[in-house]
Amino acid sequence: MHNDIDRLRARQDCTDLVLRAAACADAGDAQALAQLFAEDAVLQRPSGEPLRGRAAIAAAYAQRPAGRITRHLVTNTLFDLAGEDRPSARSQVLLWSCDAAAEPTAHGRPAHARQLVGEFDDRFSRAPDGRWLIARREARFVMFRDAPVA
């Protein structure tokens, strides 16, 4: 990145990438999610072995339970351009979930009792076509709360 405009564009593109990945996960679109990662990306989820490569990422997310609805609320993304060829970001994530089979009310479906706060540590790389992709993601939970069931 050679100038301030390039840096700002990289920051915006990578921030959008983080948000798009959350939207794909919430939509249950495993293939679209995997395409946001580099071909040789590594995704370390909070539990389990690292997922290595797009195919592994797509396969893991395709196994999501059919009736699960999630919302990853991503905020406070801090972008770092210290390594201009490999920018990085840390985002805070609040994860809520519920069951699609639950009867919706005027307020929506009742959420699961467990609420999770976590972080995404992302490193980005450029694809041959110039797009930014997620090269490595470390996702972890930091805290949780089990709310009383109504």
pLDDT digits (tens, 9 = 90+) for 17-68: 999 999 999 999 999 999 999 999 999 999 889 999 999 999 999 999 989 9
Using CA atoms, how far residue 128 sits from 26, 38, 39, 54, 62, in Å, is 28, 10, 11, 16, 26
Residue, of 1 and 40, whose pLDDT is higher: 40
pLDDT digits (tens, 9 = 90+) for 120-137: 999 999 999 999 999 999
Residues in a beta bridge with 73? 94
State the CATH number of the domain containing residue 59. Answer: 3.10.450.50
- Total tally of structural domains belonging to the chain: 1
Nearest to 61 by CA among 70, 116, 126: 70
The answer to whether the predicted template modeling score (pTM) of the entire model surpasses 0.85 is: yes
Residue-number span of the structural domain to which 52 is assigned:
4-146
C-beta contacts of 16-22 below 8 A and 24+ residues apart: 17/122, 17/124, 17/132, 17/133, 17/134, 18/74, 18/77, 18/89, 18/91, 18/120, 18/122, 18/134, 19/74, 21/134, 21/137, 22/72, 22/74, 22/93
